[in-house]
Every structure is written in structure tokens, then in C-alpha cells.
Structure 1
Amino acid sequence: MLQKSLTTTVFAIDFDEKTVRVARTLNLIAGDGQTNVLHLNTLDYSRWNEITKQEDWNDTYNEGFKKLKKLQSKGSNDYSQFQFDLVMANPPFAGDIKENTIISRYELGKNSAGKWQNKVGRDILFIERNLNFLKPGGRMAIVLPQGRFNNSSDKTIREYIAERCRILAVVGLHSNVFKPHTGTKTSVLFVQKWDDELCPKKEDYPIFFATMQKPSKDNSGDKIYLVDPETGLPALDKHNHLIVDHDLFQLSYMKQDGTEAFLEPGIAEAFEEFAKKEGLSFFR
């Protein structure tokens, strides 16, 4: 039942063909023979019909795309609105979108005066696009540059988000997390789309904030692994794998006597307590 559910409810979309091929291969190795990892430009959905009619594309991705189309919002047939429960995104920060045909499809393509801009940061458009993938009450986690949370020039972006969803949490990631590729300071934004039943709209509510204390990588971008305090050797999990040392969630490792040892609870466990206290719909 779980395997059948995964083939109809879990999807991934990426613009980079190499990334898509690697992801599809990993899925096939894991036993997903009907993978739903699709090679598409998420932001430029107006061209999806054109792309999906190409024979080479169809041969590889058509089965997954047919299943994705079934998840469009009622009355939507242009791929702009979907009905997903969960969306996770790590959009690219580098470079701007300059194509007017793309910018003109997004409210966040306008400046504070309501005029269309000549260029817009990719991550800004991804905020709107990903929210449009969610059904009411759906949740999203998205990695964003730290500046989006505190730059005065990004106030309209924060207002756009607040109008459409409840801000659940902001988790600051260590600046080493994405090294050696970039040292940009980032945070993960967690939101839930307003819904009369699952997430009734409020004007004032608490937000969970946390920041990673363990870097998980050194300044060169090499992973830092957990060490067994009893032996001084690298700790291993129950599958005999090395464990990256971080505090995003509670880690555990196998002791020499075969028992499992647990470290202190992490950020995820703290958020779980917060969610229960606040009576959030997904932790009731």
C-alpha cells in the first residue's frame, strides 16, 4: 500500500536535467519503478504544454506528468495551482529572472508601487510558486537567504507570505551547511496555508525560532561526524553508517554493547513540543 501511495502522491520537479537523472536513478535503485521526478522549469509553467509534447521528453516523463496533472486545483488547467499537502524547496539564490513572460505571471514580480519589475530574484518567485502548489491547510518548508527575513526592501515579500499563510517557524542554518558551494547565511521558513478548518486565520500568534549551534561541516565544507565518547572512534547508526554531527533533530548511535544511545533532543523535538502546545492541526 505504501509503495502504491508513493507512486501517486510524491513528486519532484527540477530544471537541471543532470539532477533529475541522478534522482530518478536513486529512486529506481530504491525500488521506485514509476518515479515522479520530472524535468521541468517550475517557474515557467506557461511553457509546460510545449515541453511535454516533445517526443523525447514524453518517452521519459509522461507517466509521472499524467499523475501530476490530476493534482491540479479544481478549475485550474494551466498548471498554476495544485493541491499538495506538503511542499519542500531549496531554490537557487544566484541570479535573477529577467524574462517578462515569467515575471508577469507572479504578484511578487511587482515592486512596492505595483509596477512590474525588469528582474526579480529566483527565490522570490519560488515563494509564490510553491505556495500555489499547496492546498488550503497545506504546509511548506523553503530555504531562503537570511536577508529575506530582515531586509527593509523585502517587507512586501514578508507581507505577501503573512497574508496567505501562518508562519510556523524560522530555523537558522549554520553558514557552513552549504559549503563549499556557498557560505550564504540561510534559514528555513515553515508555513501553513490559511484554512477555515485546519489553520484559521489569526492576526497575532507565536512563531517558533531556532538556530543551529552545531555547524555539521567545517569551514572547508567537509562533514563533521559524530564521535563515540567511549571509544573516541566515529559513531555509527543502526545501518553501520557514519553520522553527521548536528542538532537539527535528536541523533542516536549504536554503542559497543549493541544498545542504542541517544543524544540531547534537537530543534525538531523542540518544535514538536511547540506545535502540540499551540494545537497546530498536524500535531493534535
Structure 2
Amino acid sequence: MNKIAAEFSEFVLFSEEEARALDARVVMRENRGKQVPYVTCLVRDKEVQLKSEERTRQLWLARLIDKLGYARSRIAIEYPITFGRDSSKRADIVVFDADRPTVPYIIVEVKQPKYKDGKEQLRSYAHATGAPLAVWSDGILAEVWHRKNPNYFMPIHELPRADQTIEQVVDQPWTIQTLIDLEEERVKEGKFARSLRDLIEDMEDEVLANAGVDVFEE
């Protein structure tokens, strides 16, 4: 296993196949006397240094394009998010709506190391753009939300494929098998997994937030 793969060998969100496919694209370039990994971005079509956040982003881009079927032309990197006169914020990945090519459909953030901070940043980005789907990921774990209204983010199992509607994913019934699958995922994630208690508390927070209660106040 090379140094790059070894550094990220604990990743459970992405399969070994996905990791190997990315590693196969890596080239080493000399940078200030050291050999540094670079990869050609799947969307920007230029070489970028493969730091940890960029690796997570490239893995997500490959999944969005190769597994979920979103066209490269629908995806933007470092998309500017405007808050009033402030346009300094950038979303890591944005997938645009198929019928409205300038309207964000999915926002993916890979920068925030903490779940709560990442979720709040995503919430603000979704509010600002109207995007109905949002993903927080640190490369090891991922959470997917459906923005049902300005105050309510509902956790969902997975992102819809490009040929699916949000409703087809959101309206899938929760069954005993669903709970078994979720528990198997938590076991696979090991020490990185969020507990069932965490998930329930998160959903309770959403209900309170929808009722106008500031659940994030310290």
C-alpha cells in the first residue's frame, strides 16, 4: 500500500475500489524539494494538490459522476455563496438542478471537521441558495439532509441518483431491514460512527428548530 493509500486506510465511507481508482490517477510532482501528490480534478480539468480535503472532494466527485450519474456540466467547485453583500463564502461542491442550470440542487461540504459546525454551515448555504439537498462529510462519515422548508432539515438515507426524484428517496418506507442496514453501517464505521442516540437527538433538535426554538444556543 502506498503512502497516500495508507494515510487514508481508515476511511469507511468510500470503498477500496473508489480509493484505488483515485490513487491510480495520482501523479507525484516536485514541490519545494519534496514529492507531492497531484490529481487532475474531474470537474475543473486541471491538476490540483491532493491534500486531505481535496482527496475527500475528489472521492465525492467520482461518486456523484460515476455512481449517481450526475453530469460534469452540472457540477461546480468552490461555488460562491452570497449573504447580502458578502460573497466570500464558497461551497466545496454544488450540483445544479437539471432543469434550472443556475440553481443549486445539492451542496456538499468537506471542510468542517465537526459535525455540528458542518451542519450549521450547510444550513446557512442551503438557506442562501434554496438547495433542497445537503451533504456534510469528513471523508470518514457523511450525513445527508433534505431541506423540506427553511427551518427543517430531515436526515435521509442517501442522495438520489440523477435519474431519481427526491421524493423517491425520501418516501422510501423505514422497515426492520432499514434499521438492520443502518446498524451494520454503524458497526462498519466503528469508532467513527454516530450512535443511535445521536441520530435521535439530532432529529429532536430539528423538530424544536422547526418550532422556533434555538437548539444551538450554548
TM-score, normalised with respect to structure 1: 0.25
Q: Which has the higher strand share?
A: 2
Q: Which has the higher helix share?
A: 2
Higher relative CO (CA 8 A, sep ≥ 6), structure 1 or 2? 2
TM-score, normalised with respect to structure 2: 0.30
